[in-house]
Chains A and B, each alone.
Chain A
């Protein structure tokens, strides 16, 4: 996204507010939103988009996705080398997927210097549940001064990915 790439956001009930992405270093006008009515269409649009080499990333908001469908998307993504994200907000419906990595991100209370009023920098607990050729792990990260910073563990993970995943 930094180099002027475009990104496709495919969803059924979109609540994303584009101007907020500017804080995270994403130009909101580079996002193209596709609002569909049926889950089938979302899957079709995602697969078509993942086959298109001209994109930086494809993000799909889905309620449920079966293993076969993830496999299709994964194959399309491997072919075109476009990064794809599937956002699932219902933790009860997590099924097996064929993707490279699966993250679970929950928000954490922010921390302030003692005695200061207001809300601190946003913080998350980022959990890598599964990754191909790697070990899962868990980190606490904070967004401050224009980048993600790990809170306790000094391990720098693939934080670039999370800027979108965090939404």
Chain B
């Protein structure tokens, strides 16, 4: 496909933004300046200041001498790039591939997009008028190559749309600066009297390389389309993405639901054909005030079931803020997995953990109350009770070792052992009675001790001697003494669990 690019130039990016923020600045000359070696250096000017002959790179004091009423505003480092990035994200409605061209431009790869706006002319006009109505003074140009579009947007005087394969004619009358050359090269060209590209474009390549280095040849080739110029897209394109622009801004939950449904149907149809399913999906809404709101979902098993995925999104629609309205919906699936072909069983048992219905239920629960509330445990190779289980992160994990059942373990385990007072015969007998929560329990039967050593390579402290005891009411407890019996009655006893 024939490549086409648009280069947008924000002539006064920073000052336009400031004027939008502070309307009183709109009609006065002002500059943005930064401290540099003890003086104020101008980094951006507005159009009024520019018409007075002030340009970036001047010292603020000189500019003040030219225009005594000049206002000087402190520069915010990095603000320009941030602004540009936001504008780039706003431009996503015109094309998915957008690159930043610091400090004051954007490059749009518009191959295959203009016909959606009724042709190249209308497309470019729409971009320019929309940006101008936002308050930015822009110039834009369209061409087959980034180099030519850039050159025409900055230096072109005739028309902004360069027809197919007409880069050379468009470039001929422009100054060499339009080729994005380094300043030493530009100075040398100036010195030699080569004021337009036409004066040196026809020179032999070897001469140009010898005189000006290989940079000029590369830039010339890039502008003419003999060499490809890669661009770094602002938003990496997801391979699984669907877009739905809306005719009028959408503000209601019903409208958003319809958009989700439509996009899911498009995406799931494609995934189904490829035998894949969604693990995570992001639903992005571009609002007309330039902000982006989004909601994301995750699933336990890959799924291309529209109905199920819609239910997951439905739970979160309330969290979106449409504000004045949403004009573009994008559904992306950053994480995709293969779905193994499923075979129907004639006499199915109760389905296990790999069941779709269960996975869908867990997705719904996670969507409503948060994924961190759902736990599943696998055995771990530790004797220490608190460490004998580990959390499983996927529903598909299988236990790598067997669950142990040779030693008695309580049905209920306290998250942290609670201190109890006991009366115990010395030295290693189970207690005769203990007091827990203001209640005295007389121990009638007891088993133990079972000594569990602390894992010294993980943490320090005393080992535990566990006793399984039963009181007069038939209730069974798991008690332990911390450390060895030490003879002076200062041993600490704890209750750690309850047996069935």
Contact = CB atoms under 8 A, between A and B. Distances in A.
Interface of A: 3-6, 8, 15-24, 27-36, 41, 44-45, 48-49, 52-56, 106-110, 112, 117-120, 122-124, 143, 166-167
A36 B373 contact: yes
A53 B357 contact: yes
Nearest to B353: A6
Contacts of A119: 445-447, 468-470, 476
A122 B499 contact: yes
B369 A41 contact: yes
Interface of B: 349-353, 355-358, 360-362, 364-365, 368-369, 373-379, 385, 388-389, 392, 395, 397-399, 403-405, 408-415, 444-447, 468-470, 472-476, 497-500
A118 B375 contact: no
Given A107-B500, A119-B469, A123-B474, A34 B365 contact: yes
Nearest to B402: A22
Contact of B403 (A8, A28, A41, A166): A28
Given A6-B353, A19-B404, A44-B368, A107 B475 contact: yes
Q: Which of A41, A45, A55, A119 has the largest number of chain B CB atoms within 10 A?
A: A119
A110 B474 CA distance: 7
Contacts of A27: 403
Contacts of A24: 500
A17 B374 contact: no
A4 B352 contact: yes
Contact of B350 (A4, A17, A32, A48): A4
Nearest to A167: B411
Given A6-B353, A22-B404, A118 B445 contact: yes
Nearest to B413: A17
A17 B403 CA distance: 12
A33 B500 contact: no
B350 A3 contact: yes
A118 B476 CA distance: 12
Nearest to B405: A22
24 contacts: A5-B349, A5-B350, A5-B351, A6-B352, A6-B353, A6-B358, A15-B412, A15-B413, A15-B415, A16-B413, A19-B388, A20-B409, A23-B408, A28-B377, A28-B379, A28-B403, A54-B355, A54-B357, A55-B361, A109-B474, A110-B474, A118-B447, A119-B469, A120-B445
Given A28-B403, A32-B374, A34-B374, A122 B350 contact: no
A51 to B, nearest CB: 8
Nearest to B362: A32
B369 A19 contact: no
Q: Which of A31, A107, A120 has the largest number of chain B CB atoms within 10 A?
A: A107
A143 B341 CA distance: 43
A19 B409 contact: yes
Contacts of A167: 411-412, 500
Contact of B379 (A16, A19, A34, A106): A19
